Structure 1
Amino acid sequence: MHITLKFSDFFTKEIFCKIMTTKMPLGLSRSTLFRSFSTNKRKDTAGILVIGDEILKGQTEDTNSRYLTKEIYKMGVKVKKISVIGDVVSEVSEEVKFFSKSFDKVITTGGIGPTHDDITFEAVAKAFNEPLVLDPTLHKLCMKFYNTTNANIPGMKMAFIPQSAKLNFKSNISSQPLIYPNISIHNVYMFPGIPELLIKTFRSVKDGIFRNNEHYFTKCLYLNTSESDIVQILDTVVRQHPEVQFGSYPKLSNKQYQVKLTIESSSEQNTTLAYEKLLQLLPEGSIVNINDIEEK
């Protein structure tokens, strides 16, 4: 049988070799395996870069990364790393290069604006060996916003972006187009640092960044016993369900519960089975009614 294969980010040489060396059951062709692999949903990874001296100095609280991790996770994508970095072009550039090679999607937040310390566009351009160029669309937006035709005003800095960058005004059909777009280049998406603007921008374009991913199914248990009392039970269930991820989080000085357990996977059935196994094995009376919990 002759097989013509076009490799892509999804369909790797490793997958090809795995299929070609697989011993085929009677009645199953290799073409069936190829179709199976090619229709599986990809599980993307993401990295977040928080840019700003004010974060490192403790002058501003970073709420953006917490918001992004929760929203990205809802879309079936795991954030693998968060890095906080100062307003130094060379350092941001190196971090962008590393993140771009390491993760499927890279989200930056901060460093977009008219002042001297807004260096994200410059650093990202440097990371991909591109010049900053005046984008015609952004040029018009800035002139309208600042009510001027002077291209040398500080605010016009926001119209200079990496040469091959794209403007993303929206991807969510229910959202209104953004006044100032999200800027992206390759797999790097640059967002503002002001939390209100970040949230508005992310909601508008997130569907265009993270598509066709499996969602994760999560269940939680709250216990009025210590971790040491349930460690053997938890270890047993972890071994029995290797496809499920478990988390154990003690709560000190908490009158409602002592430990929070999380059970999650990309399969609702697997998550439910592991959850029900824990219900069977945990000591009687150790589980706190979820309706009595006030998570903060």
Structure 2
Amino acid sequence: MITRYVSRLIIRKLCHIRKISTETDKKIASVGIIVIGDEILRGEVQDTNSAFLAKELHNLGIELKKITVIPDNVNTISEEVIEFSKKYNYVLTTGGIGPTHDDVTFEGVALAFKEPLVLHPDLKQICIQFYKNENPSSMKMAYIPKSSKLHYKTKSGGKLRYPNVSIQNVYMFPGIPELLKKTILEAGSLLFKSDKKFFSKCVYCNLPEYEIVTELQQVVKEFPDVQCGCYPKLFDSSYKAKVTLESCCEELTRKAHARLLELLPAKSVVKDDTND
């Protein structure tokens, strides 16, 4: 009986260790964003999509690794998609989806995966309903890479009017900010998954960053798994530096935050989110 009891304890212990190990070994999902458009490169239109996506993807526990801006060129799009697709779990493209001659994202992505463009019946009907005709330009958005998938579902159980189109790990979004935001807010959590979540804390100081370098270095040394960033604020009477602490472990982030508050000079902290 004693032997069996000890054996059960050992098994439970091993299972517990294995579970912890599994959780620790889980990697953060990575993403790369490809912004497509000559108008962005010429400065005619300001890119707001990548900033919005960075924040939303971060909230989903996905780490943004790189943002690149490229022209409306089929070969350039293809080359960038190939590189990003190999490096990151998810690739998001914005722009280049529409009825005009310079909307060539579908062509570029199809070339990257060596697939032809084919007319999708669902998209054909959507384009007919929207444009009220079947002209070649009206049908342009209905031709997508052959193995593409259409994503209609929203987190509320509804359906997107125009689905997101993806192939392998590449998800193609329109460049119009209002349309992109609508799709991400309604379906982003269904499209992009991560086993991790980011936990962050902020501290606002009335000292410039060069006066708290020693304290920051000490926190970085003691908590190597916590990302520490310091951002100066010029010409602001409320604070002079914002310090952020972030990791995928809530307890570790909390401890690093407490340690920073302990190290900083008395009365140097204007505001912090200890109770958040």
TM, length-normalised to structure 1 = 0.84
Aligned pair in 2 of structure 1 residues 54, 147: CA closer, same or farther (>3 Å)?
Answer: same
Deviations 1:48-69 (A, max 9, x none): 0111011111111111000000
Query: Which one of the candidate residues 68, 74, 88 is aligned to 1:83?
Result: 68
1:22 is matched with: none
Measured in 2, the distance between the counterparts of 1:144 and 1:214 equals: 41
Measured in 1, the distance between the counterparts of 2:154 and 2:29 equals: 18
Does residue 1:114 correspond to 2:63, yes or no?
Answer: no
Correspondence list, 1:258-269, <5 A: 258-269=240-251
Correspondence list, 1:1-296, <5 A: 27=10, 32=15, 41-148=26-133, 150=134, 152-172=135-155, 174=156, 176-289=158-271
- Once the 2 structures are TM-superposed, how far is the Cα of residue 37 of structure 1 from its aligned partner? 5.3
Maintained 8 Å contact 2:62/2:193: no
Measured in 2, the distance between the counterparts of 1:248 and 1:175 equals: 41
Measured in 2, the distance between the counterparts of 1:109 and 1:175 equals: 25
Bigger strand share: 2
Give secondary structure in 2 for the equivalent of 1:289: strand
Measured in 1, the distance between the counterparts of 2:71 and 2:235 equals: 35
- Once the 2 structures are TM-superposed, how far is the Cα of residue 110 of structure 1 from its aligned partner? 0.5
Deviations 1:8-32 (A, max 9, x none): xxxxxxxxxxxxxxxxxx9479x85
- Once the 2 structures are TM-superposed, how far is the Cα of residue 208 of structure 1 from its aligned partner? 2.3
- Once the 2 structures are TM-superposed, how far is the Cα of residue 35 of structure 1 from its aligned partner? 6.0
Which amino acid is the alignment partner of residue 132 of structure 1? L
Measured in 2, the distance between the counterparts of 1:38 and 1:289 equals: 37
1:4 is matched with: none
Measured in 1, the distance between the counterparts of 2:256 and 2:19 equals: 30
Measured in 2, the distance between the counterparts of 1:133 and 1:237 equals: 55
Aligned pair in 2 of structure 1 residues 114, 202: CA closer, same or farther (>3 Å)?
Answer: same
Deviations 1:185-235 (A, max 9, x none): 000000010000000111222122222422111110111111121111110
Measured in 2, the distance between the counterparts of 1:62 and 1:129 equals: 29
Report the count of equivalent residues.
263
Measured in 1, the distance between the counterparts of 2:208 and 2:157 equals: 46
Identity %, equivalent residues: 50
Measured in 2, the distance between the counterparts of 1:212 and 1:97 equals: 22
Aligned pair in 2 of structure 1 residues 175, 67: CA closer, same or farther (>3 Å)?
Answer: farther
Give secondary structure in 2 for the equivalent of 1:181: strand
Long gaps (5+) in structure 2: 1-8
Q: Which has the higher contact order (CA 8 A, sep 6+)?
A: 2
Measured in 1, the distance between the counterparts of 2:270 and 2:188 equals: 36
Aligned pair in 2 of structure 1 residues 118, 82: CA closer, same or farther (>3 Å)?
Answer: same
Long gaps (5+) in structure 1: 1-25, 292-296
Which amino acid is the alignment partner of residue 49 of structure 2? N
